[in-house]
Structure 1
Amino acid sequence: MKHPLPFKQSALLLTLTSTLLLAGCDKATPPATTTPEKAAIWPVLTIPVAQDPVIEQAITELMAGMTLEQKIAQMIQPEIRDITVEDMRKYGFGSYLNGGGAFPNDNKYATPADWIALAEAMYQASIDDSQDGSKIPTMWGTDAVHGHNNVIGATIFPHNIGLGAANNPALIEQIAEATAREVMATGIDWVFAPTVAVVRDDRWGRTYESYSENPDIVRDYAASIVRGLQGAAEGDFLSERRVISTVKHFVGDGGTTGGVDQGNTEVSESELYHIHAQGYVGGLQAGAQSVMASFNSWNGSKLHGDRYLLTDVLKDRMGFDGFVVGDWNGHGQIPGCTNDNCPQAANAGLDIYMVPTQAWKPLYYNLIAQVKEGVIPQQRIDDAVRRILRVKKRAGLFEKPSPANRPLAGKTELIGAQEHRAVARDAVRQSLVLLKNNQQLLPLKPQQRILMAGSGADNIGQQAGGWTISWQGTGNTNADFPGGTSIYAGINKQVSAAGGSVELSVDGSFQQKPDVAIVVFGEEPYAEGNGDLDNLEFQRGNKTDLALLQQLKAQGIPVISLFISGRPMWVNPELNASDAFVAIWLPGSEGEGIADVILRDSNGAVQHDFTGKLSFSWPATPQQTTVNLGDTDYQPLLPYGFGLRYGDADQLANTLSENSGDAAGSAEQVIFERAPRSPWQLQLLSGNERVAVTSSVQEFGAIRSRTFDNQVQEDARRFEFSGNANAGFSFSSTFPRDLRTFAGTDSQLALKVMRNGAVPDSVLLGMNCGETCPANQNIGPALAAIPEGEWQTLQISLSCLQEQGLTLTQVLNVFTIQSQGALTLSLADARLVANSTATALACQ
């Protein structure tokens, strides 16, 4: 299936618009009040892997001899940095994982032999019954999301957003097959892929993990990657050359309000199904054996604790009989839970707790106690363990040789194998989208004198993006990609062979004026919430790449822009400064695939035409963050399905508006209104320690917090500082937030506060973007000036804090109030306000 021709999308638009209109007819009912009968909106799926009576009987017999402790151990998944082989021998964990940036022996340069050695040691410990009495084999899960991306030398395929532009399910299956082989070569059984999010707001930092804003592509791709990883249900399903797949994150992770990672998806149930759940329709019908619960909430209900969705819908209605695994302490985000104590998740339908850090140990013992006390029914535990064992049986883990002795184990030639790199290079070619090509500048004749410039020209780490060796994809050099090819290296190889020349110069300077310049630039690597933005303007406030393009244009040099990004972005100025512009997304380790398309061969023939089409609509303004196919007012700069081929006339003017709009405008961001607003979380600080506020009344060291009624029930919070130690409260985010909307001189932090009793001379209000850029203001005198017992709004100018070095690009703590002395302070409202006309406190 290929994309429709550019701008000829009426049938698809009508279909998706009808779906969204239908979704709008169903009120967004909170899951807590939804009855199982409502699940009729979800389909009864045809699952291709039927339950085998022989396997089920074997599980029954096995479970009959298992203790409660052995069953709970099957439900615990710790991380390799937090357990030892002896821990595995003692507890017999059902599974374990390596998170992003975790390696055997904590060594980034661990060899395939090191990975196999750890897999073998953990396996042997799991089947050693000398301490735990269990011989059930464990299984290792890994985030191989664009190739076996944690292993040095592995093939790194383009990230999902680029693959969506290719719109080729057969290619996706090839990629999954190659990934499975490289994973099996290191002795690992289980892959946490595919991600099947359907992104609605491109500010989300995980947009590049989504194939498309079109749920049809996501559905078809989910089926392809599951087949590629696991094998077809009617073929070599979970053979010794296949791995267990995970369809994730269930459900609605791409639909959070504001594109906030781990935020709240506020949609009707019909939209949740028709838009956000289609990847599960595809993946489960291809036989996926595990589903990962999502961090996000649905209309306020955290998915890790949502029984309706995890059990009534996914398991009972849709017929999924594999297991549901959690995500990185996601259970701890359920109200009333902590990372080490959360019976609510098991009762909701979570089968495996992903519990990195040392929280795994108290969680294990708490679960045992909660079953004995009847908090968790024994039947629920038995169901979870049966599901886990069912998948292990289907995968043959009881019969297969140990990891070091499996057919592909130790075959280091599979890691970055040339046949895999050929697939990746083809994927790069198919993923490229040509947005502009003035006077048919592309394809280039290779016999020319070419200048290559920009930070991404010779930077495999930047072109690979996040989830590459390290979690964020940062800290890597080209030497960390043996066998890989940078964009410059690929172009230089072909140009030099054809008699041309390439000069590499990151800053655009040159020895001899070139015939043409290729500038490779774009986003730096990021993962998850670290990539969240508050609008889509590229390099807002620091347009160094635009300056480079304009510098070259001013010298009369034709400019080709190769734009690296994990999402569509507002790049009107950069488009205007370019004669040709290609969205290359995050192409991975095989940069030469780009040369194959933008260069002619030595005889002047086109090697490969552009075939990629936008699977995400391209924004017309920085604020157009939620433009999606099917919108009633659909006016992107470039629509879904757009993509030029050689010979096509340009459809973009060279004089696009460069007015980014008033980025601040009258924008507000609420921090506290009755309760903390996502993504901000309230924490108490005492001395050098901090703790999340999880109760209406909570005491921590030298500070006490409690809710009380101001206008409505429990809409304000009182903080009592004892004066026994430095203490405070803070509104912080799990990931740094982009607050550049509030960078203007008239932006303010507005706090509605009330004080009772005396105020110390020094009460510090601070914001910070990490340890290197804290900024503080003393608000003690301003608080003392407020009449006791009266509410008053304090306006603190953000420019005061910026003058101290605060940068608003990545803010971790939006504000903290600390006092060494005794103080009673109440808070009723807190928000950031851009272009405020209120009088702010003088800078201290």
Structure 2
Amino acid sequence: MTLFKKPFYAQTYVKPLMLAISSGLLLAACSKPAPDSPDVAQPDPVVDNISIWPQLNLPVQQDPAIEQAITELMAGMTLPQKIAQMIQPEIRDITVEDMRQYGFGSYLNGGGAFPNDDKYASPADWIALAESMYQASVDASQDGSTIPTMWGTDAVHGHNNVIGATIFPHNIGLGAANNPALIEQIAKVTAREVMVTGIDWVFAPTVAVVRDDRWGRTYEGYSEHPQIVHDYAAAIVKGLQGVADGDFLGDDKVISTVKHFVGDGGTTGGIDQGNTEVTEQQLFDIHAQGYVGGLQAGAQSVMASFNSWNGSKIHGDQYLLTDVLKNRMGFDGFIVGDWNGHGQIPGCTNEDCPQAANAGLDIYMVPTAAWKPLYYNLIKQVEGGEISMARIDDAVRRILRVKMRAGLFDKPSPAKRALAGKTELIGADEHRAVARDAVRQSLVLLKNQNKLLPLNPQQRLLVTGAGADNIGQQAGGWTISWQGTGNTNADFPGGSSIYDGIARQVKAAGGSVELSADGSYQQKPDAAIVVFGEEPYAEGNGDIDNLEYQRGNKTDLALLKKLKADGIPVVSLFISGRPLWVNPELNASDAFVAVWLPGSEGEGVADVILTDADGAVQYDFHGKLSFSWPASPQQTAVNYGDADYQPLLSYGFGLRYGEDDVLAAVLSEQVEQSNQLTELVIFERAPRSPWQLQLQSGNANSSESVMVGSSIQQLGAISSRTFDKEVQEDARRFEFDGSASAALRFISPFPRDLRAYAEADSQLTVLVKRQGEVPSQVMLGMACGDDCGGAVNISAALTAMPEQQWQPLAVNLSCLQQQGMNLGQVFQVLSVQSSGKLTLSLADARISPVANQQHTVVACQ
């Protein structure tokens, strides 16, 4: 059966590429573009051409008995009960009593949200919350409803919010494996571990087809090629939900969500939540293939995307949500919004948005206190005729249809379900074995000079680099916390770092291994394994403006060169969520492996790069690039099929053992320099690398400090909490209770040289909002050591600000220098300290080389 009649995508994009891969043509670094690829000779935009979209034959057909049961149930529902089905709040913003009173159709935990606000909540804690919410939802004492609620979670590479769960490689690595059967197996494991905690629904798979690798969600995409995404979407939906004529939504299955509809990976400039400017044909051929695959596998939920399509926000686009997805493609499940995504529609706010419902959104994801006014506004808008009752009934019918198909009306409560409480399944050995195999299959060998790999484990090996013994870094974003930050190896019980795996195998084979953070060693090794790469990030926090690795701060390159200068062969293991320009690092390495973000089972890396004790290969390299590797930092949008396709390494490239290198012996390290100093971002949505947010409380002789690793955190006299200003958790509120001196500080473990900013007469600028009274002394400053730094009192400036309004404040770096700040050794780039009671919110902080006349400049004191 064909997916659709005479598919443009299949005829002009897939077949030439698959032929090229099978014939080995893509192993050359200068592959020619397919002559009819969709990125060549683009047609003029054609809007609302419904014939482009397929009429799908979906595997889950409507059951007359279920439809009749829905009709009878809805006949007795009040308007408030129906609206409650369309509201999805977040566990940090509702209580069990709220569930009992309102009877929400669903709820979620966002990244970094845990039962009882406890990062270390046990599986029993998760089950207890699921059970309490369920029982409240079926308690008719207040809302008159007995409709069971459902819990949604971001289990995007395993049950990644739960301590001890199996964490799989992120999607970019799985794409390199190009093995749909493996993906289905991973999804089955994920579903089991999710069901142990009583959760019904996961927000996966992400089926973005990434076109610009500057995007901070690149690693959530399987490939730049739609075919892999199409096939993987089908595989993961089957693994999560089961198959329509078999184990569909059984006891060990969860409801899946194909996301984010549509075009999230195609935004101009790779800007998260930006504008995807493509023709409708391209939107379908490139960006919609994951939905064709996922829906044809029976996906019951689709999540609307934050992005716009040619200027139209998807959350409010009736043509795409209703005419295309529901009517043309035949999707009869429900469409859920993304994190307050409805509030981004022109004319809408998080609290008030009839446009989204009218466009076809069925469930509003409203994870802040905005859920309550939104609920009441929707009721008023139906009563006033802004939203038709027919539209509400359609949304509620779709929600109830999925709940009935999932057996939520018939299954026991979460604590009594078949897998509930079977904690031995969380991180079970057989599950970790699947993840370890996925690691092996995902690795891509880019360089192997003189056939250095595989290494014999009977040698003397040095393992070094920041990522060597760091499971949190190798797991990446969406791991326990939303950004994947603030985690230690102790947060991954049962997991293994890359060093752990190497050390175990080397010691078992009779060799020796030394772990060193800085590349030092007791005795000269036979080879050095250097593990380095990107720090964890998620969503817009990972957006970058070019692809140069460690731009302006090449500490990892210095380590590689140091080892090379010592005459030690160097194997580089590069942790990253996207291909990056690493020509200098490639030149300084004898072998170079893209390990992507392998997750909790780091030992899978050792299985491939080490032989067994007898010198035999354990596992050959399997992975092939599912993203083209850039030839320059500015080559940010390089995709197979481009008119001028000249990457450093082509889509489909990946060496096997015994194959010769294709890279030049010495790659160009020249970078086009900009004559203009760019802004240094300190805080934008979250702390920007290398800066980390720290809370400090107490006097100089008895102070305590802690790194902020969760959305809600407190230490002594200061507390911190994320909230939404424009988008998800993009601002922080700090409360100083006045019981002791306290501070928030953005620090780096290594000093930064910011002298160029002083030479450009720059300013340290912050965007802040005050609430309530301001003490007489609030110090804003920078530090270069315990007794080195500068600060100014911003109390008067804060007092003069209108309360509860965002205002920019600035201090000239030259002022801080006058007070003794050494900008060549910046350890603490920004601090705010107060001994009095103060509530202050922060939305942005940066060093700007050009003075802004609209900022309030604090006078130098």
TM-score where L is the length of structure 1: 0.80
Residue 510 (structure 2) pairs with residue 499 (structure 1): yes
Query: 1:783 aligns to what?
Result: none
**2:603 aligns with one of 567, 589, 592:** 592
CA apart distance, 1:426: 0.3
Could you tell me how far 1:659 is from its partner in structure 2? 1.0
**Equivalent position of 2:59 in the other structure:** 48
Once the two structures are TM-superposed, the CA of residue 7 in structure 1 deviates from its matched residue by 2.2
The whole-number CA distance in structure 1 between the counterparts of 2:262 and 2:246 is: 29
CA distance, structure 1, for counterparts of residue 49 and residue 640 of structure 2: 28
The alignment partner of 2:593 has SS state of strand
User: Residue 427 of structure 1 aligns with which residue?
Assistant: 438
Letter in 1 for 2:613: S
Give 2:614's aligned residue. 603
CA pair 514-802 structure 1, distance change in 2 beyond 3 A? farther
Q: Name the residue aligned to 1:348.
A: 359
CA contact (8 A) 2:30 2:649 kept: no
Alignment of 1:711-726 (within 5 A): none
Aligned residue among 107, 110, 134 for 1:99: 110
1:25 is matched with which residue: 39, 43, 46?
43
State the match for 1:316 in structure 2: 327
Q: Match of 2:767?
A: none
Deviation of residue 10 (structure 1)? 12
Alignment of 1:664-679 (within 5 A): 664=674
Matched, 1:7 2:31: no
Q: Deviations over 1:285-327 (max 9, x none)?
A: 1110000011111111111111111111111111111000001
- The answer as to whether partners of 2:33 and 2:642 remain within 8 angstroms in 1 is no
Note the residue ranges of structure 1 that are not aligned, 5 or more in a row.
670-677, 680-689, 695-739, 750-765, 779-795, 814-831, 835-840
CA distance in structure 2 between the partners assigned to 1:512 and 1:88 by the alignment: 63
Q: 1:226-277 deviations in whole A, cap 9, x for unaligned?
A: 0000001121111111000000001111111111111111111111111111
Give the 3-state SS of the residue equivalent to 1:327 in structure 2: coil
CA distance in 2, matches of 1:297, 1:45: 25
Q: Within 5 Å, which residues of 2 pair with 1:440-451?
A: 440-451=451-462
Match of 1:217 in 2: 228
Q: Which residue in the other structure is 2:670 paired with? A: 659
Amino acid at match of 1:368: I
Judge conservation of contact 2:31–2:646 (CA < 8 Å) in 1: no
For 1:711, the equivalent position in structure 2 comes to: none
Per the TM alignment, residue 26 of structure 1 is displaced from its structure 2 partner at its CA by 3.2
Q: Output one character per residue of 1:312-346: Cα deviation in whole Å (capped at 9) or x when no partner.
A: 11111111110000011111111111111111111
Q: Deviations for 1:697-721, whole angstroms, at most 9, x for unmatched residues? A: xxxxxxxxxxxxxxxxxxxxxxxxx
Structure-2 change in CA distance of 1:774 and 1:627 (3 Å): farther
Query: What letter corresponds to residue 38 of structure 2 in structure 1?
Result: T
**1:369 matched to which residue of 2?**
380
CA offsets 1:689-744 (integer angstroms, 9 cap, x no match): x99899xxxxxxxxxxxxxxxxxxxxxxxxxxxxxxxxxxxxxxxxxxxxx9x979
Gaps of 5+ in 2: 1-17, 680-684, 687-722, 728-753, 764-779, 783-788, 795-809, 831-847, 851-856
Would the aligned equivalents of 2:39 and 2:643 in 1 still touch at CA under 8 Å?
no
Aligned: 1:122 with 2:133: yes
Q: Is contact 1:94–1:137 with CA below 8 Å preserved after alignment?
A: yes
Distance 1:16 1:117, change over 3 A: farther
Structure 2 residue aligned with 1:571, among 563, 576, 582? 582
User: Helix, strand or coil: the match of 1:587?
Assistant: coil
Secondary structure, in 3 states, of the residue corresponding to 2:67?
helix
Amino acid at match of 1:81: R
**Following TM superposition, by how much is the alpha carbon of 1:41 offset from its aligned partner in structure 2, in angstroms?**
1.2
SS of equivalent to 2:321: helix
SS of alignment partner, residue 45 of structure 1? coil
Task: State the shift of 1:19 in Å.
Answer: 2.6
Distance 2:630 2:391 in 1: 47
Q: Residues of 1 paired with 2:288 and 2:493: CA distance?
A: 38
Deviations 1:562-604 (A, max 9, x none): 0000000000010000000000000000000000000000111
Q: Is the 8 A contact 1:26 1:270 kept in 2?
A: no
Paired AA for residue 508 in structure 2: A
Q: Which amino acid aligns with 1:26?
A: D
- 2:276 is equivalent to residue 265 of structure 1: yes
Report the AA paired with residue 446 of structure 2.
L
Measure, in 2, the Cα distance between the counterparts of 1:274 and 1:129: 48
For 2:342, the equivalent position in structure 1 comes to 331
Which letter does structure 2 place at the counterpart of 1:18? Answer: S
Q: Percent identity?
A: 75
Match of 1:303 among 314, 318, 323: 314
Matches within 5 A, 1:772-811: none
What CA distance in whole angstroms lies between the structure 1 residues aligned with 2:761 and 2:662?
A: 39
| 8 Å Cα contact 2:198-2:415 kept in structure 1 | yes
Structure 1 partner of 2:83: 72
Q: 1:238 aligns with which of 212, 230, 249?
A: 249
Q: 1:165 aligns with which of 163, 172, 176?
A: 176
Query: Deviation at 1:655?
Result: 1.2
- TM superposition shift of 1:661: 1.5
The equivalent residue for 2:154 is: 143
Contact 1:6–1:641 (8 Å) recurs in 2 = no
Q: Displacement, 1:162?
A: 0.2
Give how far 1:21 is off: 3.7
Contact 1:775 1:806 (C-alpha < 8 Å) held by counterparts: no
Deviation of 1:46 after TM superposition, in Å, equals 1.6
In structure 1, what is the equivalent of residue 637 of structure 2?
626
State the shift of 1:384 in Å: 0.3
Give 1:38 shift.
Answer: 1.8
Aligned residue number for residue 548 of structure 1: 559
The amino acid of 1:261's aligned partner reads D
Corresponding residue number in structure 1 for 2:471: 460
1:412 corresponds to which of 410, 423, 426 = 423
**Residue 273 to residue 11, structure 1, CA distance change in 2 (3 Å):** farther
Aligned equivalents of 2:823, 2:228: Cα separation in 1: 42
The CA deviation at 1:45 is: 1.2
Selected match of 1:643 from 640, 650, 654: 654
Amino acid at match of 2:141: S
- Distance of 1:691 and 1:185 partners within structure 2: 31
Matches of residues 692-731 of structure 1 in structure 2 within 5 Å?
none
Separation of aligned partners in 1, 2:596 and 2:239? 23
What's the counterpart of residue 413 of structure 2?
402
8 Å CA contact retained: 2:446, 2:591: yes
Q: Match of 1:587, as an amino acid?
A: P
Q: CA deviation at 1:745?
A: 6.5
Indicate if the aligned counterparts of 2:27 and 2:654 stay in contact, CA closer than 8 A. Answer: no
CA distance in structure 1 between the partners assigned to 2:111 and 2:265 by the alignment: 20
Aligned residues: 723
- Structure 2: distance between partners of 1:798 and 1:294: 40
1:464-522 superposed Cα distances (whole Å, 9 cap, x missing partner): 00000000001111010000001001000000000001100010111111111000000
Alignment partner, residue 488 of structure 2: 477
Report the alpha carbon displacement of residue 805 of structure 1 after superposing the two structures with TM: 9.5
Contact 1:568 1:619 in 2 (8 A): yes
Q: Deviations over 1:610-656 (max 9, x none)?
A: 01000000001101100111100001111101100000101112311
1:277-288 alignment, distance < 5 Å: 277-288=288-299
Pairwise CA distance, 1:668: 9.7
Letter in 2 for 1:96: Y
Q: Separation in 1 of the partners of 2:790 and 2:400? A: 50
**Hey, what's the Cα distance between the residues in 2 that align with 1:805 and 1:216?**
54
Where 2:306 maps in the other structure, the secondary structure is: coil
Equivalent residues of 1:775, 1:805 under 8 A apart: no
1:511 aligns with 2:522: yes
Secondary structure at the aligned position of 2:49 is classed as helix
Residue 800 of structure 1: how far off its partner (Å)? 6.9
Change (3 A) 1:598 1:11: closer
Q: 1:44 Cα deviation (Å)?
A: 1.0
Partner-residue secondary structure (3-state), 2:420 = coil
After TM superposition, the score normalised by the length of structure 2 is 0.78
Give the conservation status (yes or no) of the 8 Å contact 1:6–1:642: no
